[in-house]
Structure 1
Amino acid sequence: MSKLILLLLILFLALHPSSPRPEPYAMRISCGARLNVHTAPTNTLWYKDFGYTGGRPANASPTSYIAPPLKTLRYFPLSDGPENCYNIKRVPKGHYAVRIFFALVAEPNFENEPLFDVSIQGSQIYSLRSGWSTSDDQSFTEALVFVADGSLSSCVHSTGHGDPAILSFEILQVDDKAYYFGSNWGQGTILRTAKRLNCGSTLSKFDADYNGDHWGGDRFWHKATTFQQSSGKVRSVESKIKKASVSPNFYPEEIYQTALISTDSLPELSYNMDVDPNRNYSIWLHFAEIDVGITNVGQRIFDILINGDIAFKDVDIIRMSGGAHMAIVLNKTIAVNGRTLTITIHPTKGNAIINAIEVFEVIPAESKTLTEEVGALQTLKNALGLPLRFGWNGDPCVPQQHPWSGVDCLYDKKNLKWVIDGLTLDNQALRGFLSNDISKLHHLQSINLSGNSIHGTIPSSLGTITGLEVLDLSFNFFNGSIPESLGMLTSLKRLNLNGNLLSGRVPAALGGRLLHRASFKTATWAGLGFSIFQTAQRPM
């Protein structure tokens, strides 16, 4: 019987072979678009605009020939808040290439070139520099990130130099091990694309234009027929390249079918690029021996130097790859102290050769704010009627360069999360009510909501914020009695309820004093170690 079952299983597997690997997740958004869009030449689908926290649609003036041919964008006036985001839900757990193209608003009276910062998953990855709109390299930013919780967020942060504007937003799944570079690689790391060159190519292309595997993430490869310090000669072939499009990076075969080769008069190939100082960079160098004159081991040998230090010695492509027309990739991650990264191919036998170069900035991923506390702040934002100019989009504490206005953050080393330890929203024309959800901010030490027009009762849940030291609700329209629960705030050093519509007794734990709809001067209970400022009636 067991043999029969085994034979049936073998027959079933023969008739029903295992399914091929599914297509990677892909989400492309045409910002500002009201309808889905397909673009030539690959008939790429761009979804109509969704997932944004604010901003306004407008016509677009793309800044680069490499930008997708989309006609709309979304821009974010500073009056609508300094931070605005795209929050995409139900993204499968995995590894993603995220790419954002920028554009100019095609309307009169707009500043030609806004400057702003960009973050992904709470980590700042890019700052637009003056002149970006005339530079292909700077018209977009791209990074490799991990998604573990089913959502992906990217935010633009105003720096006061014009209104940020986004042409498109792409999320493209790549292999879980894509661009693995060593022990520091993982979910705590973001790789921002700093440079990607197809050496020897006369055309710049995306992976899709190369008919590349979709698991490659549709990378963009800039043409490079010359370097700054050494021109070299271009070599191209149509021969098939082995070991090119393989897991985990799935490089398009065509990037290995062209190369720059040094000349006898200038035997070195040297490439320079500007970088931000005191950062780590992961460098990926691509080789395939496509020179008809090089067919055996030992005919071409070279060293690879990065900023003058030998990164790879005695590189022999034929020996390392197994033969001609076979791809190999070498990776080195280094710390760069200065503002220049120099890659030098120094031959010791024959001439130098290079097929493609990739450089990534290694960015430590920021720890996020405790999810429950982010949700509590969003509830407070709506309940208090926070003015639009505050924004309060994205993560309140990260990137650390752009915390939410009025929110103080503290890093919880135990849970490796940011928490909220202070709210300072005095004199901000708030007209709502104070939600019970404020108690979910249980790390608060200080609350100052004075000088607004907040109405309703004081939430009894405030008494559960045991570390609260300062509570100032003065000069609002709070009514009802002072909650007995405030007596549980044993850490409280200062309580100010002056200028409200409160009535009834002061809880015994706060001093046991009656309120008779009359103003009281400051009363200090030395034994309790704090002051109470109160008035029961506020002039209308």
Structure 2
Amino acid sequence: MAISHCSASTKLAWILALLLILVTTTIQVHCQSPPGFISIDCGFTNTSAYNDSITGIQFDPDSRFVEGGLSNKISAEFIAGSDEQQKTLRSFPNGSRNCYTLPSTTGTKYMLRATFTYGNYDGLNKTRDGSLFLFGLHIGVNFWEAVNMTNWDPSSTIWKEIITVAPANSVSVCLINFGSGTPFVSALELRPLQDLMYPFVNTSVSISYFRRIRFGAATDFITRFSLDPYDRFWEGWPFTYPWIPLNTSSRVRRLPGDNTFQVPEGILQGATTLDTNYSFLEISVGVGPNLDAKNLQLLPIFHFAEINSSNPSRRFDIYSNDELLFADFSPSRFQADSMHQNGRFLHNPTATFRLSKTRRSRLPPLINAFELYSLVRMDNLTTDSDDVNYIKEVTKHYNLARINWNGDPCSPREYSWEGLTCDYSKSNQNPRIVAVNLSTSGLKGGLVISFMNMVSLENLDLSHNNLTGAIPDYQIKSLKVLDLSYNQLDGPIPDSILQRSQAGLLDLRFACTVAQFLLF
């Protein structure tokens, strides 16, 4: 048996070294982003990622998620005190639609957040010059919401969140130019949710953040990760008399298997009630300038837990404006109750909700947390996935740098790619690409074979380019017109193409020096 003799100083050195390892390990664990988190600092020009100083979440530069746009920094006067992600932004002065593409897992539910801090980056003071400063957001191929920065404090941040289901292995966020100011974005954050959460969200229905509030006493205006493992923003609710905050250190539990909303326990441990001389509390969050109140459809979710340690009963009715939603409700003691009407969206132009004490109740109403979302319909269908893959192969092969060739090729119709014709005739089916016109596009090299895989393609115009080499055997039965005029192609025309042309099934065009082709 060996015995090691260590001096006191040696022991102290070992202890200090061990503590240093533990601290370093703790810091490294804290700085690791949870699985599936994608965080993008838009306009950030460094090539390496960094960890946010507050949350420890890793943020990446945006160059590999977007094409085009300009990197900018906010004005020096607003740098101090700004969050790291708000110091830079990417603006899009060119094109009607510019899109970020974020990797995702098909069918997975996500929360996506976009933040915008103008910071007078362009020196034009556009948020304060009296003119309309408005641009749009699309989630995939569907309209999400408008971003209205008219008369906005240039140092303040607007954020938009949406809960949606990924339709494919990527999620697109597109900025739409309405002609009322240059679109820009400061940060994008994608957070995976559990499938059971927000069960009314599906491939046809997404929900856009309207308000998400935590009640009770809170030290920070925004509560987020790591208290909320899904990094949702929870706003603090200011209170003055007769509003009274309640807080508890006791456990507040969810029913076993209740994973619908997963409100953090730290938020449910706070609540707001009223002085006992008052009988109702009202939550009025206002519609604001970004939304059309007449057509707005809202989904409220109320979160309750009785955290008063005394025994008197608390019962109240819950109203949306003047419509009774829930009658004679009594929150469970130290257990979460989340109330919503099975995903029913309400017409409530004033976004006002009221909790009214019933006659049987000895205590006024109480509320712990509140979520409010607006309906985003996902009615537009994306382009057939095979067509998307093949046309993107063409784009990559020829290094096409067309301004509006990003986002979905065919959808929505008003933003379809220049030079493409799409077929929308079949209802409830994804649009297909039926014509590609790349005439006079500066194409060089050989003819890409990706076209032959586009089974709905009827018209392919590649004329007036610098294409060289042989003509591939394009066995596309749907193809009716193939224009290869004015290129530098040579070699024999494949039999299948020549036979279809001679049979009148294909209009083959090759205005050029006949000697380039061997017609046999």
- 1: distance between equivalents of 2:276 and 2:154? 30
Deviation at 1:429, TM superposition (A): 4.5
Amino acid at match of 2:315: I
Partner of 1:432: 444
Partner of 2:115: 101
Partner of 2:337: 328
- 1: distance between equivalents of 2:80 and 2:206? 27
Q: Deviations over 1:380-400 (max 9, x none)?
A: 3245553x3433122212345
Amino acid at match of 2:265: E
Deviation at 1:358, TM superposition (A): 0.7
Q: Structure 1 residues 118 and 487, CA, compared in 2 at 3 Å: closer, same or farther? A: farther
Answer 1 or 2: which has greater strand percent. 1
Give the superposed CA RMSD.
4.1
Partner of 2:417: 404
- 2: distance between equivalents of 1:84 and 1:420? 20
1:70 alignment partner, one of 85, 104, 110: 85
- 1: distance between equivalents of 2:150 and 2:54? 29
Q: State yes or no: 1:29 paired with 2:37.
A: no
Q: Deviations over 1:245-284 (max 9, x none)?
A: 9734331234331314377467352425325454543321
1:124 alignment partner, one of 114, 133, 143: 143
Partner of 1:497: 509
Partner of 1:515: none
Deviation at 1:363, TM superposition (A): 2.8
2:358 alignment partner, one of 342, 348, 353: 348
Contact preservation (8 Å) 1:306, 1:343: yes
Task: Say how many residue pairs are matched.
Answer: 463
Q: State yes or no: 1:142 paired with 2:161.
A: yes
Equivalent residues in 2 for 1:501-520, closer than 5 Å: 501-503=513-515
Tell me whether 128-137 or 435-444 shows the greater mean CA deviation: 128-137
Tell me whether 190-199 or 153-162 shows the greater mean CA deviation: 153-162
Relative to the length of structure 2, the TM-score reads 0.74
- 1: distance between equivalents of 2:349 and 2:488? 56
Partner of 2:315: 301
Partner of 1:361: 374
Deviation at 1:285, TM superposition (A): 0.7
Deviation at 1:104, TM superposition (A): 2.6
1:453 alignment partner, one of 465, 468, 488: 465
Relative to the length of structure 1, the TM-score reads 0.71
Equivalent residues in 2 for 1:1-20, closer than 5 Å: none
Amino acid at match of 2:40: I
- 2: distance between equivalents of 1:174 and 1:98? 10
1:418 alignment partner, one of 431, 452, 455: 431
Q: Structure 1 residues 285 and 300, CA, compared in 2 at 3 Å: closer, same or farther? A: same
Q: Deviations over 1:101-129 (max 9, x none)?
A: 22336644467456433333444323212
Equivalent residues in 2 for 1:271-310, closer than 5 Å: 271-274=284-287, 275-276=291-292, 277-278=294-295, 280-291=297-308, 295-296=311-312, 299-310=313-324
Equivalent residues in 2 for 1:103-252, closer than 5 Å: 103-104=117-118, 107-109=121-123, 112=126, 115-131=134-150, 133-134=152-153, 139-147=158-166, 149-181=168-200, 185-201=201-217, 203-208=220-225, 211-214=226-229, 217-225=230-238, 232-243=242-253, 247-252=259-264
- 2: distance between equivalents of 1:493 and 1:50? 45
Tell me whether 304-313 or 264-273 shows the greater mean CA deviation: 264-273
Instruction: Could you tell me which runs of 5 or more consecutive residues in structure 1 were left unpaired when the two chains were aligned.
Output: 1-21, 509-540
Tell me whether 400-409 or 262-271 shows the greater mean CA deviation: 262-271
2:392 alignment partner, one of 337, 353, 378: 378
- 2: distance between equivalents of 1:369 and 1:491? 32
Instruction: Could you tell me which runs of 5 or more consecutive residues in structure 2 were left unpaired when the two chains were aligned.
Output: 1-32, 128-132
Amino acid at match of 1:36: A
- 1: distance between equivalents of 2:348 and 2:155? 24
- 2: distance between equivalents of 1:160 and 1:126? 16
